[in-house]
Structure 1
Amino acid sequence: MTTTTTGTRTAARVVDAVKVYGAGDTAVRALDGVSVTFPAARFTAVMGPSGSGKSTLLHCAAGLDTLTRGAAWIGDTELGGLDDRRLTLLRRDRVGFVFQAYNLVPTLTVAENITLPLHLAGDGGDPEWIDTLIDVVGLRDRLRHRPAELSGGQRQRVAVARAFAGRPDVVFADEPTGNLDSRSGEEVLGLLGNAVRQTGRTVVMVTHDPVAAAHADEVVFLADGRLVDRMEVPTADAVLDRMKAFEVPS
């Protein structure tokens, strides 16, 4: 199933993406010819049953893993044409990441965690932009705290601010609410949506939760490593109904 988006910029895309793990009789085809476009300045959720290939799609689209066949692009740059150094620089400068486990440095303060990638790159960042992000994620009164002094939701807010700190073309979020209670999860999802609307950035989020997916502008559905559907203006009920179609009768 091939989809194209016209009249809008593309933040990321994969074309005829195939990813095979292993070889011979034990080979697993995690992606089976997926072509999908993620429009710029939009919040897209990727859903599917366990083993559908959704996390593999995110990792390959973000340059964290390589495709067996096909092509992955960030903007106008094809990832397969980059050597290790240039791929590392692209991920540093043009891609942000939010993971389920937060991945904060425990010895650093909130402020230091937010700007850590910029300092590692030898770039102090844009103070005005960082200041705006701090307000977006609501952490101004926690800047001197360390991760151990924060709730899970607050830690994920720090991770969200860190992901956007370098003004990336696209932020990839892999189950960002997986470790959070429902209230904290709602707050983080609202922050991701606000970041898209207020900063013009792009978010691509993998989730298994229909309520989480309903915060997105669009949901992409995978099954058995293939793109099977897209849903504009999703609701939790509509997403849940679509997911039920993937269930195997007992």
Structure 2
Amino acid sequence: MNSSRTPTSASPPATTLIRAAAVAEDLTKVYGHGVTRVVALNGVNVTFLRGEFTAIMGPSGSGKSTLMHCMAGLDTISGGSARIGDIELTGLNDMQLTRLRRDRIGFVFQAFNLLPTLTAAENITLPLTIAGRRPDQAWLEGVIAAVGLADRLKHRPAQLSGGQQQRVAVARALAGQPEIIFADEPTGNLDSRSGAEVLGFLRDSVRELGQTVAMVTHDPIAASYSDRVIFLADGRVVDELRVPTAETVLQRMKRLDTGDRAG
């Protein structure tokens, strides 16, 4: 098991950028002014490579959800750079950000965010319908098969279990073949068995479908499904762990909680 410290200043090399689904460079996010000023992100540098599953972890208030929201264009950036593929977010207006999120980013949240009046199939294709795009049928069928929903497509959310609803949400995120999927505590409302199923689907989407996933989580077991874990503290990336297990993640988190951020 290898771990390495994430660079804090140097830009990623050009070959890495070509493989990058998303990149943050010296990313800063500040809330408030004067005595209420809070630096949520303080010069964050991180690259999310295509076809890789990254977990984002850290103590409460470390900036992990803020990082995801800034990278996904859900929150404004105070300084530095954030890119999805070759698109720089800081220069986009609201309409361009909306189009970017719709066309190039997939989202999976703790709340399933399904429309109750639509069937599972209609919820899965809703972003494409709104965008006026026709789904790639072969891809869509592969996604539905991967998440095991073929016999539930005509059911509405109220007729589905929590795990099934989250699988619909995962399929919706995958349906448009996005540049990257951002998942914010996707198993937070699920029991352990349903959570394991959803994490397995996210894992398989990377391994078998070539997707890129960045997931915020506080759970070492959830993080163990990823290819690497990046750790934030006080708005900075302070550590990275590759080929994680629940045990190694838990050990690293304990070190962060006690203020020991070495190696």
Counterpart of 1:237 in structure 2 is 247
CA–CA distance in 2 between the matches of 1:68 and 1:22?
11
Counterpart of 2:220 in structure 1 is 210
Is 1:172 aligned to residue 179 of structure 2? Answer: no
Deviation at 1:73, TM superposition (A): 0.3
CA–CA distance in 2 between the matches of 1:248 and 1:197?
35
Deviation at 1:173, TM superposition (A): 0.3
CA–CA distance in 2 between the matches of 1:65 and 1:44?
20
> Of 38, 41, 48, which aligns to 2:51?
41
> Of 68, 71, 85, which aligns to 2:81?
71
Deviates more, 1:78-87 or 1:233-242: 78-87
Cα displacement string for residues 127-152 of structure 1 (whole angstroms, at most 9, x for unaligned residues): 11111100010000101111111111
Q: Which amino acid aligns with 1:144?
A: K
Deviation at 1:124, TM superposition (A): 2.1
Cα displacement string for residues 152-181 of structure 1 (whole angstroms, at most 9, x for unaligned residues): 111100000000111100000000000011
**Counterparts of residues 1-250 of structure 1 (less than 5 Å):** 1-2=8-9, 4=12, 6=15, 9-248=19-258
Deviation at 1:13, TM superposition (A): 1.0
The number of equivalent residue pairs is: 249
CA–CA distance in 2 between the matches of 1:148 and 1:20?
40
Q: What is the TM-score of this pair, normalised by structure 2?
A: 0.92
Deviation at 1:197, TM superposition (A): 1.2
CA–CA distance in 2 between the matches of 1:174 and 1:54?
9
Counterpart of 2:3 in structure 1 is none
CA–CA distance in 2 between the matches of 1:146 and 1:83?
35
For structure 1, the residue ranges without an aligned partner over 5 or more in a row are none
CA–CA distance in 1 between the matches of 2:53 and 2:115?
27
Deviates more, 1:194-203 or 1:7-16: 7-16
CA–CA distance in 2 between the matches of 1:78 and 1:247?
34
Deviation at 1:248, TM superposition (A): 4.3
CA–CA distance in 2 between the matches of 1:125 and 1:27?
45
Deviation at 1:2, TM superposition (A): 4.0
CA–CA distance in 1 between the matches of 2:224 and 2:179?
23
Deviation at 1:81, TM superposition (A): 1.4
Q: What is the TM-score of this pair, normalised by structure 1?
A: 0.97
CA–CA distance in 2 between the matches of 1:119 and 1:127?
14
**Is the 1:18–1:69 contact (alpha carbons within 8 Å) kept by the matching residues of 2?**
yes
Deviation at 1:59, TM superposition (A): 0.4
CA–CA distance in 2 between the matches of 1:2 and 1:177?
33
- What do you get for the CA RMSD once the two structures are aligned? 1.3
SS at match of 1:164: helix
